[in-house]
């Protein structure tokens, strides 16, 4: 039976990324092999360019890599050359390979959208004119993997236009009514109306910096004698700064009408959600509360709205793993950080898919299937690492 068929398929797909180097016929280390080895090195726990290069250098005769590459000799570039290769890789071509590889794993029914600074893109101000770079991540809430990125070259305010550009990419979405969630920065009339026009759905957070919109929501809610539906969630464990959390959800919509609130800029507002969050100190018993408001262009239950809103924060967990497992914030990528960022997402997605399938099983040497233990197992087991590429793309996995 052939080994590592999916790894070999990925290697073949990486050949579509054009090589910027001029004398292609003289290249001793093909770009697709370099990119694949970087993903493998990241899976093994090597996060800095120097560490990635060192791992590649000492694994030129790795039998598993030689099997995947179908060669008896692997050439490794110099450290400085590796850095140059990665900072000159065609990000859009690499992103296309990424999207095609992970698309079968993503349901795309509920999508969390959030931007992330790539802090190492302007270390100590060496590239002041270039500014920090940022990347917009689109996460599939069910599989908990990022299935697409959008690159932002200036500052985080570009996150608004980046999402609008992504919404115009027909290959990412369909007319089946995906539900988008994002933080209040994206609660813009043009963005929400575009989602609605494309038959998508949204849950949009409204904060105090959108004073007029928030006041209109509060005034509309006050016209109701009581909510259409309510839901209370009390967490038994400590969270949010080691405090007990209670969330009281109140849902408002008009059963006899399509819209619950008219707004001259925002179209088709069907439901309003008020969430009162109470934090209680376990020792002093002191409690503090604050209220959040959301609007949506569809109707469901209060409990379902809360579940969808809380699931949005899986994208923040993803960002946390990028920093804790791959040291993304500490990685110095200078002026072109996007290619290494895509490759980190490759590695993290493979970790997450394995965790989705095995989180309640004792399949690792330590008996625990956590993200950190998956990384630790990769560090000590090349065959386990290679098999992460062979995971099935069934969307029915228990996640």
CA-to-CA dists, residue 349 to 43, 69, 148, 343, angstroms: 10, 22, 11, 10
**Residues 359, 280 share a domain:** no
pLDDT tens sequence across 111-155: 999 998 876 655 454 444 455 678 899 999 999 999 999 988 765
**Residues 92, 21 share a domain:** yes
Specify if 289 maps to a domain.
yes
How far apart, in whole angstroms, are the C-alpha atoms of residue 329 and residue 340?
12
Rounded average pLDDT over 279-300: 92
How far apart, in whole angstroms, are the C-alpha atoms of residue 296 and residue 225?
20
pLDDT tens sequence across 21-69: 766 666 678 899 999 999 999 999 999 889 999 999 999 999 999 999 9
pLDDT tens sequence across 81-114: 898 888 889 999 999 999 999 999 999 999 999 9
**Residues 357, 287 share a domain:** no
DSSP H helices in the chain: 5-14, 31-43, 49-58, 63-69, 79-87, 91-102, 158-167, 189-197, 211-222, 302-311, 314-326, 338-358, 371-380, 382-387
Domain count, the chain: 2
Residue 58 tokens, joined: 């000492």
Structure confidence at residue 335 (pLDDT): 65
Contact predicate 249/305, CB 8 Å: yes
Single residue among 296, 328, 362 that ends a domain in this structure: 296
Percent of the chain topping pLDDT 70? 90
Parent domain of 243 = 204-296
Q: Which residue do the tokens 């100190």 mark?
A: 281
Rounded average pLDDT over 371-377: 96
Count CB neighbours of 74 within 10 A. Answer: 17
**Residues 357, 283 share a domain:** no
Beta-bridged to residue 290, according to DSSP, are: 277
Single residue among 296, 331, 361 that ends a domain in this structure: 296
**Residues 355, 276 share a domain:** no
Specify if 175 maps to a domain.
no
Structure confidence at residue 270 (pLDDT): 96
Structure confidence at residue 397 (pLDDT): 46
How far apart, in whole angstroms, are the C-alpha atoms of residue 123 and residue 229?
50
Rounded average pLDDT over 278-306: 93
CA torsion through residues 162, 167, 173, 176, sign: positive
User: Does the structure show a pLDDT above 70 at 395?
Assistant: no
Residue 272 tokens, joined: 């309003």
At residue 240 the predicted structure's pLDDT band, cuts being 50, 70 and 90, is confident
Specify if 85 maps to a domain.
yes
Specify if 47 maps to a domain.
yes
pLDDT tens sequence across 180-236: 999 898 999 999 999 999 889 999 999 887 899 999 999 999 999 999 999 999 887
Structure confidence at residue 125 (pLDDT): 47
User: Does the structure show a pLDDT above 50 at 314?
Assistant: yes
What angle (nearest 5°) sits at the alpha carbon of residue 392, between those of residues 386 and 398? 115
How crowded is the C-beta side of 75, counted as CA atoms within 13 Å?
9
pTM metric for this prediction: 0.91
**Residues 281, 363 share a domain:** no
Specify if 267 maps to a domain.
yes
**Residues 282, 366 share a domain:** no
Specify if 315 maps to a domain.
no
**Residues 357, 288 share a domain:** no
Structure confidence at residue 53 (pLDDT): 95
Structure confidence at residue 117 (pLDDT): 81
Specify if 311 maps to a domain.
no
Specify if 328 maps to a domain.
no
Average pLDDT, the chain: 89
Structure confidence at residue 209 (pLDDT): 79
């Amino acid at each position: 039976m052939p080994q590592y068929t999916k790894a070999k398929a990925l290697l073949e797909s990486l050949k579509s990324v054009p090589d910027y180097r001029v004398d292609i016929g003289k290249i001793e280390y093909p770009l697709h092999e370099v990119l694949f080895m970087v993903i493998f090195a990241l899976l093994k726990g090597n996060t800095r360019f120097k560490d990635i290069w060192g791992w590649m250098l000492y694994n030129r005769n790795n039998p598993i890599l030689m099997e995947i590459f179908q060669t008896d000799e692997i050439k490794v570039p110099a450290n400085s050359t590796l850095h140059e290769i990665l900072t000159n890789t065609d990000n859009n071509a690499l992103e296309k390979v990424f999207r095609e590889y992970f698309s079968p794993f993503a349901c795309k029914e509920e999508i969390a959208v959030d931007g992330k600074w790539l802090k190492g893109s302007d270390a100590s101000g060496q590239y002041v004119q270039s500014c920090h770079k940022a990347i917009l991540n689109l996460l599939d809430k069910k599989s908990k993997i990022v299935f697409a990125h959008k690159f932002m070259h200036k500052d985080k305010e570009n996150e608004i236009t980046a999402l609008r550009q992504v919404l115009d990419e027909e290959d990412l979405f369909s007319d089946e009514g995906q539900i988008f969630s994002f933080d209040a920065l994206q609660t813009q009339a043009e963005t929400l109306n575009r989602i609605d026009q494309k038959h998508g759905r949204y849950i949009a957070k409204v904060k105090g910096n959108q004073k007029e919109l928030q006041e209109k929501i509060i005034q509309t809610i006050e016209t109701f004698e009581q909510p259409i539906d309510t839901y209370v969630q009390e967490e038994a464990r400590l969270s949010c700064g080691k405090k007990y959390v209670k969330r009281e959800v109140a849902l408002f919509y008009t059963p006899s009408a399509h819209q619950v609130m008219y707004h001259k800029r925002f179209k088709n507002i069907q439901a309003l959600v008020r969430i009162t969050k109470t934090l209680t100190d376990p020792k002093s018993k002191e409690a503090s509360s604050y209220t959040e408001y959301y609007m949506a262009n569809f109707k469901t239950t209060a409990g379902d709205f809360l579940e969808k809103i809380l699931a949005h924060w899986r994208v923040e967990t993803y960002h946390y793993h990028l920093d804790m497992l791959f040291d993304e914030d500490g990685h110095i990528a200078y002026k072109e950080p996007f290619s290494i960022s895509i490759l980190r997402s490759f590695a993290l997605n493979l970790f997450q898919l394995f965790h989705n399938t095995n989180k309640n099983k004792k399949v690792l040497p330590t008996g625990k299937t956590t993200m950190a233990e998956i990384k630790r197992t990769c560090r000590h087991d090349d065959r386990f690492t290679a098999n992460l590429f062979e995971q099935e793309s069934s969307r029915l996995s228990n996640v």
